[in-house]
């Protein structure tokens, strides 16, 4: 501890410190506590600054978070530069995960024993698989992310949790743990499944405060499976795909600068019991965007083989939360079955002809789902919701995102309806 730049006895005891009229006193404190000194329940380390003694004793409480973590970062090279990884002729500050690292052991296996803090882009070597156990916690520094390149795979093996601590959820978020950063978008970059990556499985994962939560490029014909997962507060996209092949169940996305879900340049998609919402509160942002081309002076089209949404909610703060953008040079196949949609586009555009049974079946249009708490990303519903018991049992996923059994007929979206907490 220093007081006005002075060091006291044993760096913590100060006597007869003079404070002049209209002056200020600056006290700086640095601590390096052992993890054993922290409260094991919340990882908080507490102390006090004491002023005076006896009956005049006053205390100022000190509080800090202490966590033992595995730190992963680019190495400093012999030439003084920092290690990089290169994709599309662009060098990024990053490194390859090592399954035989001398310090960390197998860096391709993220356990729940300690949190992980990543600086730069952690990259999976080609042909390798990175695995995340249930309960793993990963914190990304600014301009950091995870890259899964050609022939590499991502396996996220989360499980349903029993408490609000999400003890079995895999959580990816930024490394700023102060309360003011809880819901700040764009604190880190993305999880990027690049062209040619394969055999991805994502289950019970929460992704918070990224630029793009999941970026999924065209890859082989293997399907990306995303189940029981949440993505919140992305500064650009919750999920951004480019000619990908995805099956999604019980996905919740809320608040993104451009779109919660953007399926671009065609692809093959099937989403069931998902809640796609966008409450970014600016015009021209959407909950769901579909297109079948790459824009530019000479747009390049690619078939949207399938984009099927079953028992889903697509809603948000904007008058049109569904954006369909078709290029006539490639197929554009989409189908919404038993979905709650927010759209005022009108049937003058044939893409939004909600009476067209080849594209829309049993649609609920512009009725509020009455989510529990949008600001806190709690998109649960109860029996007053327009989505209550409006699903088709033919598409039912037996358990909701929290592992709760669904009733029949099921509710729309990722959550089984329950009374809101009082």
Cα–Cα distance for residue pair 211/288, rounded to 1 Å: 17
DSSP for residue 410: P
236, 211 Cβ separation under 8 angstroms: yes
353, burial (CB in 10 Å: exposed 0-12, middle 13-18, buried 19+): middle
Q: What's residue 367's pLDDT?
A: 97
Q: Which residues contact 64 (CB under 8 A, 6 or more apart)?
A: 31, 33, 44, 45
Cα–Cα distance for residue pair 57/51, rounded to 1 Å: 6
Q: What's residue 30's pLDDT?
A: 87
CA 103, 106, 108, 114 torsion-angle sign: negative
Query: Which of 327, 326, 330, 340 lies closest to 274 in space, CA to CA?
Result: 340
Q: What is the dihedral of CA 324, 224, 113, 238, to 10 degrees?
A: -10
Q: What's residue 45's pLDDT?
A: 82
Q: What's residue 219's pLDDT?
A: 63
Cα–Cα distance for residue pair 331/303, rounded to 1 Å: 5
Q: What's residue 31's pLDDT?
A: 85
256, burial (CB in 10 Å: exposed 0-12, middle 13-18, buried 19+): buried
Q: What's residue 345's pLDDT?
A: 75
Strands 293-294 and 145-148: unpaired
Per-residue pLDDT of the chain (422 residues; tens, 9 = 90+): 999 888 888 878 998 888 889 999 899 988 888 777 777 766 778 889 999 889 999 998 887 877 789 999 999 888 888 999 999 999 999 999 999 999 999 999 999 999 999 999 999 999 999 999 999 999 999 999 999 999 999 999 999 999 988 999 999 999 998 888 999 999 999 999 999 999 999 999 999 999 999 999 986 677 899 999 999 999 999 999 999 999 999 999 999 999 999 999 999 999 999 999 999 988 889 999 999 999 988 999 999 999 999 999 999 999 999 999 999 999 999 999 999 999 987 668 999 999 999 999 999 999 999 999 999 999 999 999 999 999 999 999 999 999 999 999 999 999 999 999 88
DSSP for residue 77: P
Q: What's residue 119's pLDDT?
A: 97
Angle at 162 between CA 157 and CA 163, to 5 degrees: 115
């Amino acid at each position: 501890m220093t007081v006005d730049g002075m060091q006291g006895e044993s760096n913590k005891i100060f006597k007869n410190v003079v404070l002049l009229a209209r002056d200020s006193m600056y006290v700086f404190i640095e601590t390096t506590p052992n993890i054993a000194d922290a409260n094991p329940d919340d990882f908080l380390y507490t102390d006090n600054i004491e002023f005076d003694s006896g009956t005049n004793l006053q205390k100022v409480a000190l509080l800090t978070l202490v966590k033992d973590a595995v730190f992963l970062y680019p190495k400093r090279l012999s030439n003084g530069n920092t290690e990089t990884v290169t994709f599309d002729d662009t060098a990024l500050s990053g490194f390859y995960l090592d399954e035989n690292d001398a310090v960390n052991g197998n860096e391709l296996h993220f356990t729940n024993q300690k949190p992980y803090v990543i600086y730069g882009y952690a990259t999976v070597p080609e042909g390798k698989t990175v695995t995340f156990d249930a309960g793993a916690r990963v914190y990304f520094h600014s301009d950091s992310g995870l890259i899964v390149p050609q022939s590499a795979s991502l396996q996220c093996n989360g499980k349903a949790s029993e408490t609000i601590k999400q003890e079995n959820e895999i959580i990816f978020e930024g490394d700023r743990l102060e309360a003011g950063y809880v819901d700040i978008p764009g604190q880190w970059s993305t999880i990027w499944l690049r062209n040619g990556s394969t055999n991805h499985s994502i289950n019970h994962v929460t992704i918070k405060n990224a630029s793009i939560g999941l970026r999924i490029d065209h890859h082989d014909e293997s399907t990306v499976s995303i189940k029981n997962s949440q993505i919140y507060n992305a500064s650009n996209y919750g999920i951004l795909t480019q000619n990908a092949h995805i099956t999604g169940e019980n996905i919740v996305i809320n608040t993104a600068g451009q779109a919660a879900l953007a399926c671009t340049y065609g692809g093959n998609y099937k989403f069931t019991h998902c809640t796609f919402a966008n409450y970014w509160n600016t015009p021209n942002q959407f909950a769901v965007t579909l297109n079948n081309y790459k824009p530019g002076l000479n747009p390049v089209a690619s078939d949207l083989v399938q984009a099927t949404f079953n028992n889903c909610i697509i809603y948000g703060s904007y008058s049109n939360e569904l954006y369909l953008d078709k290029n006539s040079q490639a197929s554009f196949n989409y189908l919404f079955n038993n979905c709650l949609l927010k759209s005022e586009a009108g049937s003058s555009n044939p893409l939004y002809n909600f009476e067209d049974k080849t594209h829309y079946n049993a649609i609920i249009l512009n009725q509020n789902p009455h989510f529990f708490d949008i600001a806190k990303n709690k998109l649960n519903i109860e029996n007053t919701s327009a989505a209550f018991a409006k699903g088709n049992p033919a598409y039912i996923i037996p358990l909701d995102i929290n592992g709760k059994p669904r009733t029949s007929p099921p509710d729309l979206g990722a959550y089984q309806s329950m009374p809101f907490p009082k």
